[in-house]
Amino acid sequence: MSEILKIMQERQSARVPFDPNRPVPKEDLKQILEAARWTPTAHNMQNFEIIVVDDKAVLEKIGNIKSRISEVFLRENYEQLSFSKEELLKKKTGILGAMFPPAWTDPAKISEAARQAVPMPLTQSIRGSPTLLTVIYDSRKRAPASEGDVLGFMSLGCLMENMWLMAQALGVSLQILSSFAALHVEAELKKLLKVPEYMKIAYTCRLGYPASAAKYLRVRRDIEDFVHHNQIGNNGL
């Protein structure tokens, strides 16, 4: 098995607290940013900027910003859940519902759970991470002839993957925090980080080292489940 494929297979989203007293070495951070530098982007637009946050005072201020869960998230999250390892292994897509509160896994209770949700500080998302990489992009630009800037957003996804794989290769754990792009959170972050109005937050990468070991059941479809040879219906190669 090639080394890069092994890194891809071992990569996972680190949903556990990180050790706040174990910083990411500067040389490792530079390597992750070098991987970012070589991201393939539509028309070589290089349509991103990255804000590195590792100052404890700034991290504390970010952590004090509050975020609230939405009913839309809860309902669409529910659609991706399996409720046993056996079900997840059979479906080969989605995640285990066991990692969420019971109210999030009962369709009859989701509306009430959203109404009663108390805004939580982002410190609950940062969870001890000593370094954040906030990715921003210029909302005034788009890839040529790309309706809705689809190609531009694909480029931001390529950026995410480049950084994630390099982090994995270096033994640095990473989790994507999409909640940082929510409008009410974004507004506060932009003030704090002095982000120009025309720039938008795409996502934030949380970097660090787990304070405790945690492994999640990860599933993928087989090649025959998504590959069609020459035409739809001829599954596999």
The yes-or-no verdict on residue 51 having pLDDT over 70 is yes
User: Nearest CA to 163 among 16, 37, 47?
Assistant: 37
User: Nearest CA to 179 among 106, 91, 111, 117?
Assistant: 117
pLDDT digits (tens, 9 = 90+) for 135-153: 999 999 999 999 999 999 9
pLDDT of residue 1: 65
Q: Average pLDDT, whole number, for the chain?
A: 95
User: Nearest CA to 177 among 11, 69, 10, 15?
Assistant: 15
The yes-or-no verdict on residue 131 having pLDDT over 70 is yes
Residue 21 CA to residue 6 CA, distance in Å, equals 29
The residue with tokens 């991201």 is: 39
pLDDT of residue 52: 98
* Higher per-residue confidence, 15 vs 49: 49
Per-residue confidence at 216, pLDDT binned at 50, 70, 90? confident
The string over 45-78, giving b where at least 16 C-beta atoms fall within 10 Å of a residue's C-beta and e elsewhere, is: bebbebbebbeeeebebbbebebebeeebbeebe
Looking at the DSSP assignment, which residues form a beta bridge with residue 52?
A: 133
pLDDT digits (tens, 9 = 90+) for 58-108: 999 999 999 999 999 999 999 999 999 999 999 999 999 988 999 999 999
Could you give the percent of the chain with pLDDT greater than 70? 100
pLDDT of residue 166: 98
- Set out the domains of the chain in order of their start, with CATH numbers: 3-66+122-226 (3.40.109.10), 69-117 (no CATH)
Could you give the percent of the chain with pLDDT greater than 90? 94
The string over 191-228, giving b where at least 16 C-beta atoms fall within 10 Å of a residue's C-beta and e elsewhere, is: eebebeeebbbbbbbbbbbbeeeeeeeebeeeeeeeee
Per-residue confidence at 215, pLDDT binned at 50, 70, 90? confident
pLDDT digits (tens, 9 = 90+) for 29-41: 999 999 999 999 9
Encoded tokens for 205: 């990468």
In this prediction, residues 183-211 reach a mean pLDDT of: 97
